Amino acid sequence: DSGVTQTPKHLITATGQRVTLRCSPRSGDLSVYWYQQSLDQGLQFLIQYYNGEERAKGNILERFSAQQFPDLHSELNLSSLELGDSALYFCASSVAGTDYEQYFGPGTRLTVT
């Protein structure tokens, strides 16, 4: 157990819908990272938040957005869902103040039908 928690574990929804994934980092970690893992694209970095502020952006679609709240939990919002958005979504957190040693949560498996 990495100490990073994610909910829900599984999510099944229809095309065009919107969903919210939630992540709580390890105690003391200020950074939260979101990753998407699919068979064709592999493990891809989406976005990073550090202490409530967006810090780095990767291959995140405009239909996706995220935020980090004062209690440091983070939410990833996916809207206008398409079949191709079906994937595993992981969040990770890292030792305070660095991007090293990123520990992953258990992931949310999103299925868009």
Partner 1 sequence: GENVEQHPSTLSVQEGDSAVIKCTYSDSASNYFPWYKQELGKRPQLIIDIRSNVGEKKDQRIAVTLNKTAKHFSLHITETQPEDSAVYFCAVLSGGSNYKLTFGKGTLLTVNP
**DSSP-based three-state secondary structure for 60:** coil
Q: Which is nearer to partner 1, 9 or 70 (CB)?
A: 9
How many positions of this chain bind partner 1 (CB under 8 A)? 21
The only residue of 27, 53, 83, 100 in contact with partner 1, by rule CB under 8 A: 100
- Are the C-beta atoms of residues 62 and 78 closer than 8 Å to each other? no
101 binds partner 1 (CB under 8 A): yes
Q: Which is nearer to partner 1, 65 or 103 (CB)?
A: 103
The only residue of 43, 51, 63, 82 in contact with partner 1, by rule CB under 8 A: 43
Question: Which residues, in sequence order, are CB contacts of 1 under 8 Å at separation 6+?
Answer: none
CA quadruple 102, 9, 35, 96: dihedral positive or negative? negative
The only residue of 24, 48, 68, 93 in contact with partner 1, by rule CB under 8 A: 48
- Are the C-beta atoms of residues 29 and 96 closer than 8 Å to each other? yes
**DSSP-based three-state secondary structure for 112:** strand
Q: Which residues bind partner 1 (CB under 8 A)?
A: 2, 33, 42-45, 48, 55-58, 90, 99-107
